[in-house]
Amino acid sequence: MNAMSFFFFGLMLIPFVLFLIWLVRQDKNKNYIGLAVLAIAIIIAAYVAINVDLKFMSPQ
């Protein structure tokens, strides 16, 4: 991964994820299904972003 990818993960993605977790936890019914779906979506998005970055950064 190049420097811009780390910049994105560090300064944009992590605060956004923390905000979303805080937002889901504000639910008065304490439904943790939304938190589980959020976690799965984050894992899938990180996996796809890393694989796409590796594809475009590798020499051909």
Whether 2 has a pLDDT exceeding 70, the answer reads no
Whether 12 has a pLDDT exceeding 70, the answer reads yes
Q: What is the pLDDT of residues 16-38, one digit of tens each?
A: 778 877 877 777 776 777 777 77
Of the candidates 58, 52, 18, the residue with the CA atom closest to the CA atom of residue 38: 18
Whether the full predicted model's pTM is greater than 0.75, yes or no, is no
Of the candidates 51, 49, 31, the residue with the CA atom closest to the CA atom of residue 41: 49
18 CB-near residues (< 8 Å, 6+ apart): none
Q: What is the mean pLDDT of the chain?
A: 76
